[in-house]
Amino acid sequence: MSESLPAVRHLLEPTGDDLRRWLLERSLPGFRYAQIRHWIFAGRAKSFDDMTDLPKSLREALAADFRLWTTRVAEHKHSDDGTEKLLVELADGQQIECVLLRDGARRTICISTQVGCAMGCVFCASGLNGVERNLTAGEIVEQMLLLDRLLPADERLSHIVVMGMGEPLANVDRLLPALAEATSPTGLGISARRITISTVGLPPAIDRLARENCRFNLAVSLHAPDDALRNELVRVNKSIGLGEILRSADRYFEASGRRLTFEYVLLGGLNDQVDHARRLTALLGGRSALVNLIPYNPVAGLPYRTPSAAAVNRFVEVLRAAGVNVQIRERKGDKIDAACGQLRRANLLSSNSTAGPAVHQVAPSGL
Ligand code: SF4
């Protein structure tokens, strides 16, 4: 994986005191720092020129030394249900996706943490070509702000799910500073309790999160009730195993006191049978957890199909009869390829090859 990053001084990069130092070097008053941050996060400035209570000379100096945005929106799609999806082109030409979901009063965003993904979920578009690179913290923050600026003036983002392209815990060094900006009272001011990190299950990183910052909700994607099937569906599992993943999830639960969520994509005929549900129940072993079932949405080019309604109902019944807390995840934005990786892949394919588009199925519905 390449670690080369765009050679720009990104104002949204939460590197600590870059902007503060810059202001000090120019003997500018400290309150300018708070003013600039206010414009970035609460004021929704789209350019330095929008920061109208800064002297023009300061705005020009900032524009000369910093870039507020390093990305460009390559595509913006709207769905009838209020979902909006952005295909975002990074400074190095790579593309990622992020989504805004509207659900009642909730304004949830789903953000990406890597270009591509190395986890190898066979049904997912994001990982089909492996991982290209980690996103910078600034690029993660930038997605939040691009989506925030889609809202009208009287609405604010309420929830974040880190479920977009990439494995968040494979880029935890950049993710945590970005989420610090999301939770900061002078940033987006979103409660950590309203932020969910979704992982395929990387035990060392889950343990690190439990030690360093367990304020966030953790969602672990299982997709199979045993290692034999999970090794086929989530290839990284071969080197980890469900037992160790569940033990690390338990440690996170102990540290955080936050109820765990387990994600399970239902693939027609593959992992959606009554026997799978029984074995999943046994695997969870009475844990206090929520199971999110996500019926697969098939896409040309991949050999997986939607489970029947009857199969979904039977699966739910088995889990509920065993006392497992279950919800079926409503898919939002299907018409705009809201499942992660789909839009980017369709775009790549239309410019590069003849294969059909694929899909990442963990499209959030506002956890
Ligand atoms: S489903 Fe998530 S973890 Fe799996 S390959 Fe896709 S982006 Fe990576």
Q: Which of 99, 112, 114, 119 most suits a substitution to test ligand 1, by most atoms within 8 Å of the C-beta?
A: 119
Ligand 1 centroid from CA 287, angstroms: 24
Q: Which of 200, 223, 236 most suits a substitution to test ligand 1, by most atoms within 8 Å of the C-beta?
A: 200
Nearest to 346 by CA among 17, 113, 97: 97
Minimum-distance ligand 1 atom for the alpha carbon of 200: 3
Ligand 1 centroid from CA 345, angstroms: 14
Report the alpha-carbon distance of residue 4 to residue 357 in Å, rounded.
28
- Annotated catalytic residues are 97, 340
What digits encode the pLDDT tens for the residues 217-240? 999 999 999 999 999 999 999 999
Question: Which amino acid, one-letter code, is at 241?
Answer: G
Ligand 1 centroid from CA 296, angstroms: 14
Sequence-separated (6 or more) residues with CB below 8 Å from residue 243: none
For the entire predicted model, the pTM comes to 0.91
10-residue stretch averages of pLDDT, the chain, 367 residues long: 58 85 93 96 97 97 95 95 95 96 96 95 86 97 98 97 96 97 97 96 97 93 98 96 97 94 96 98 93 87 92 98 92 60 61 36 40
The DSSP output letter for 67 is: B
Dihedral pair phi/psi, residue 114, rounded to 5°: -140, 160
**Contact between residue 116 and residue 125 where contact means Cβ atoms under 8 Å apart:** no
Q: Which of 112, 114, 121 most suits a substitution to test ligand 1, by most atoms within 8 Å of the C-beta?
A: 121
The DSSP output letter for 302 is: S
Ligand 1 centroid from CA 202, angstroms: 12
Ligand 1 centroid from CA 364, angstroms: 13
Question: Which amino acid, one-letter code, is at 131?
Answer: V
Please name the residue whose Cα sits nearest to atom 4 of ligand 1: 121
pLDDT at 34: 95
Q: Report the pocket of ligand 1 as residue ranges, CB < 6 Å.
A: 117, 119, 121, 124, 126-127, 165-167, 200, 360, 362
Query: In terms of DSSP H, where are the helices of the chain?
Result: 18-25, 31-41, 56-65, 137-148, 172-183, 203-212, 227-233, 242-256, 274-284, 309-321, 342-352
